[in-house]
């Protein structure tokens, strides 16, 4: 099953509660995740209405709620939205609306559709979400609206220890250019990239089992060997390649901004 497809996300929702990374690791400073959150906060204001596309279990939407007028957040996974709504009630957040929705063309008669009213949004955000929502931005954007999205990108040069891993836990070179995909989607909406950044920093794993969790994430149990079966291989990788801070995997993100003129 291809990662980050609808069937893959449907299965992931059965395997864990919410959309999160279940492994333990440490990101070096200057990483894309922190840069995205800082950029989002810099565009917030008490009179701004925000849309969070592919909100997962609502973590970002709830965190930014005190800094803006309203947040409309949606995702296509029912259990994620249920978790988000429960968290909102528990935290007493009143200005966030969560909606169960799929904005893809396939789910909307051939045309992408954001579940928002025309000319109602000042800021569009998406952390590791889909791209199809971009095509419907102009319909729901107010003049001057800003789009901010963070996209994972694969490492171009694989770590030397990758060759020691068992299949299918071994990583492959990327076959997808995220920047080109974003540019194509923006062009369909009559938009261009205003500015963009690539972040490439070390991600440190302090134990062999945590690297296994990272590489096995999203696979069904019958698709990968158990950790017990490959433990000697992972311990050998750590013995050969780990440094004082742990074993390094490259953590790469593409962060971009567009503006609706």
d(CA 178, CA 184): 10
d(CA 36, CA 13): 24
Contact 112, 53 (CB under 8 A): no
Query: Tell me, what's the pLDDT at 140?
Result: 98
Query: Tell me, what's the pLDDT at 173?
Result: 84
Burial of 58 (0-12, 13-18, 19+ CB in 10 A): buried
**Token match 């279940």: residue?**
22
d(CA 253, CA 154): 8
d(CA 122, CA 141): 6
Structure token pair of residue 63: 């965190």
Residue 206 CB neighbours (<10 A):
15
Quote the mean pLDDT of the chain. Answer: 96
Tens-level pLDDT at each residue, the chain (261 residues): 777 889 999 999 999 999 999 999 999 999 999 999 999 999 999 999 999 999 999 999 999 999 999 999 999 999 999 999 999 999 999 999 999 999 999 999 999 999 999 999 999 999 999 999 999 999 999 999 999 999 999 887 889 999 999 988 999 888 889 999 999 999 999 999 999 999 999 999 999 999 999 999 999 999 999 999 999 999 999 999 999 999 999 999 999 999 999
Give Cα separations from 126 to 47, 52, 54, 256 (angstroms).
20, 6, 6, 10
Structure token pair of residue 57: 């279990």
Q: Please, which residues bridge with residue 161 across strands? A: none
Query: Tell me, what's the pLDDT at 174?
Result: 80
In the chain, which ranges are continuous DSSP H helix?
A: 6-15, 32-42, 59-64, 78-91, 137-140, 178-188, 208-216, 227-241
Domains defined along the chain, listed by start = 6-157+173-200+253-259 (3.40.50.150)
Write down the pTM of the prediction: 0.96
163 phi and psi angles, rounded to 5 deg: -65, -20
pLDDT digits over 50-71, tens only? 999 999 999 999 999 999 999 9
> What phi-psi label fits residue 4: left (phi over 0), alpha (psi between -120 and 50 degrees) or beta?
left
Q: Please, which residues bridge with residue 121 across strands? A: 141
Give the burial string for 13-50 (b: 16+ CB within 10 Å, else e).
beeeebbeeebebeeeeebbbeebbebbeebbeeebbb
């Amino acid at each position: 099953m291809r990662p980050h497809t609808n069937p893959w996300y449907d299965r992931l929702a059965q395997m864990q509660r919410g959309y999160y990374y279940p492994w333990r690791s440490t990101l070096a400073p200057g990483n894309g995740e922190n840069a995205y959150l800082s950029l989002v906060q810099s565009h917030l204001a008490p009179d701004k209405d925000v849309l969070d596309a592919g909100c997962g279990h609502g973590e970002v939407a709830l965190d930014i709620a005190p800094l803006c007028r309203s947040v409309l957040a949606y995702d296509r996974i029912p259990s994620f939205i249920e978790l988000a709504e429960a968290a909102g009630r528990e935290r007493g957040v009143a200005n966030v609306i969560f909606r169960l929705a799929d904005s893809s063309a396939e789910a909307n008669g051939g045309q992408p559709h954001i579940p928002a009213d025309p000319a109602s949004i000042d800021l569009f955000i998406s952390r590791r979400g889909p791209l199809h929502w971009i095509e419907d931005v102009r319909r729901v954007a107010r003049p001057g609206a800003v789009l901010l999205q963070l996209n994972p990108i694969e490492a171009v040069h694989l770590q030397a220890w990758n060759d020691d891993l068992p299949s299918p836990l071994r990583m492959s070179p990327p076959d997808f250019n995220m920047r080109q995909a974003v540019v194509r989607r923006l062009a369909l909406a009559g938009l261009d990239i205003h500015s963009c950044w690539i972040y490439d920093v070390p991600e440190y794993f302090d134990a062999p089992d945590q690297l296994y969790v990272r590489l096995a994430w999203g696979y069904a149990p019958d698709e990968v060997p158990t950790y017990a079966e490959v433990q000697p291989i992972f311990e050998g990788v750590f013995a050969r390649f780990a440094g004082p801070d742990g074993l390094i995997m490259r953590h790469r993100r593409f962060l971009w901004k567009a503006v609706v003129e």
